Amino acid sequence: MNPLLREAFSHFQPISTRWHDNDVYGHVNNVVYYSFFDSAVNTYLIDAGGLDIHQGEVVAYVVSSSCDYFAAIAFPEHIEVGVAVSKLGNSSVHYALGIFKAGEQQACAAGRFVHVFVERASNRPVPIPEPVRAALGRLLCD
């Protein structure tokens, strides 16, 4: 899988940059990319997997993340976050993510992060709930 190319992803989450995303250099600040990743993944988990982030007994915590940057994005810009699953474990999932300017084939950034699913009350790892696991399975890549 080449996370720099659009063809590596089957799911895309559209996001619009906001005025306050830009930094003093006139482009979206590097830390904002992580919020794009988090928003894209969690939107998918809620919409496709039925994850209840407010009242559910199981929640997903980010335990590892990284990002490589290749081209700047700025406000105003429409982007798409490509979301793929590179590894699906019992209680964890590894994501591959790409930030694309709308319609472009080459990623502006490539990210990775790992979610661990935990019981909200105990903060202890638990198996990924079946509806969420099924949704994540649809994003598995080679």
Give 69-97 pLDDT, tens digit per residue: 999 999 999 999 999 999 999 999 999 99
> Average pLDDT, whole number, for the chain?
95
Asked whether residue 2 carries a pLDDT value surpassing 90, the answer given is no
Give the per-residue pLDDT at 1.
Answer: 60
Share of residues in the chain with pLDDT > 90 (%):
95
Place of tokens 């979206």: 28
- State how far the Cα of 45 lies from the Cα of 48, in Å rounded to an integer: 6
Asked whether residue 49 carries a pLDDT value surpassing 90, the answer given is yes
Give the per-residue pLDDT at 55.
Answer: 94
* CATH class of segment(s) 6-137: alpha beta
CB 40 within 8 A of CB 81: yes
CB 10 within 8 A of CB 44: no
CB 136 within 8 A of CB 93: yes
Q: Which amino acid is at 76?
A: P
Tally Cβ neighbours within 10 Å of residue 108: 20
Q: What pTM, to 2 d.p., does this model score?
A: 0.94
Beta strand ranges found along 3-141 (DSSP E)? 11-16, 58-69, 78-88, 92-101, 109-119
Distance of alpha carbon 24 from its chain centroid, rounded? 26
Considering only residues 142 and 96, tell me which one the structure prediction assigns the higher pLDDT.
96
